[in-house]
């Protein structure tokens, strides 16, 4: 998918930064309920997502937040604070993002043809000097995470069905 930059929409956090949009998707031969459980269990993401670390970020209000670091190559990292919300049972959820990318992300699950298409949508701004580069690195990390999830879930589905992986 192409990255489109639009700077006309205001943002109270970074009004002068360009607005960046991105979408990535992966087909996974597994039921959406299984994928929903995997994706909403953010603490378990490092088990299938390469170069990703996750730590809980406690808040005074008890709201769920996660400190996430995504390896961006050449020893660089993107640091994000994720606030999951808008859970839609077996259909996906929304993520508020802060840190190196500020905005909104979403995992959306679409059941189709004996499996599920996992969509990852982003609408963000960045305080970094090269926001397009930061978005490119995050998208590369998200694709690696989706492929890792695909491998882990498809092995789980095959072994649950009595097949050898």
Task: State residue 14's pLDDT score.
Answer: 74
Alpha carbon distance, N-terminus to C-terminus of the chain: 31
Tokens linked to 102: 């500020």
In a domain, 79, yes or no: yes
* Residue numbers of the domain that contains 53: 23-160
Distance CA 152, CA 16 (A): 41
| Per-residue confidence (pLDDT) for residue 107, from 0 to 100 | 97
Q: Do the domain assignments include residue 14?
A: no
Kindly report the pTM of this predicted structure.
0.84
Residue 143 belongs to a domain:
yes
Length of the chain: 165
* pLDDT in the model for residue 72: 79
CB 24 within 8 A of CB 36: no
pLDDT for position 73: 74
- Assign residue 83 the CATH number of its domain: 3.30.530.20
Q: Answer yes or no: is 48 within a domain.
A: yes
Tell me the average confidence (pLDDT) per consecutive run of 10 residues in the chain, 165 residues long: 39 75 94 94 96 93 94 86 94 96 96 94 93 91 95 88 72
Q: What is the pLDDT of residue 5?
A: 38
Task: Identify the pLDDT of residue 2.
Answer: 44
Indicate whether 133 belongs to any domain. Answer: yes
Query: How many structural domains comprise the chain?
Result: 1
Rg (C-alpha) for the chain, rounded Å, is: 16
What was the pLDDT predicted at 165? 62
């Amino acid at each position: 998918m192409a990255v489109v930059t639009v700077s006309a929409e205001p943002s109270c956090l970074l009004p002068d930064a360009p607005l960046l949009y991105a979408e990535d998707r992966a087909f996974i031969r597994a039921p959406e309920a299984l994928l929903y459980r995997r994706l909403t269990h953010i603490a378990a993401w490092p088990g299938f997502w390469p170069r990703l670390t996750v730590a809980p970020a406690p808040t005074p209000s008890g709201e769920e937040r996660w400190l996430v670091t995504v390896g961006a190559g050449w020893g660089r990292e993107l640091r994000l604070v994720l606030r999951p919300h808008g859970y839609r049972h077996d259909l996906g959820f929304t993520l508020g993002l802060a840190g190196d990318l500020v905005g909104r992300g979403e995992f959306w699950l679409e059941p189709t043809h004996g499996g599920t298409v996992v969509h990852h949508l982003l609408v963000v701004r960045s305080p970094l000097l090269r926001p397009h580069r930061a978005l490119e690195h995050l998208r590369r990390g998200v694709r690696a995470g989706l492929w890792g999830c695909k491998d882990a879930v498809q092995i789980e589905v095959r072994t649950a069905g009595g097949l050898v992986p």
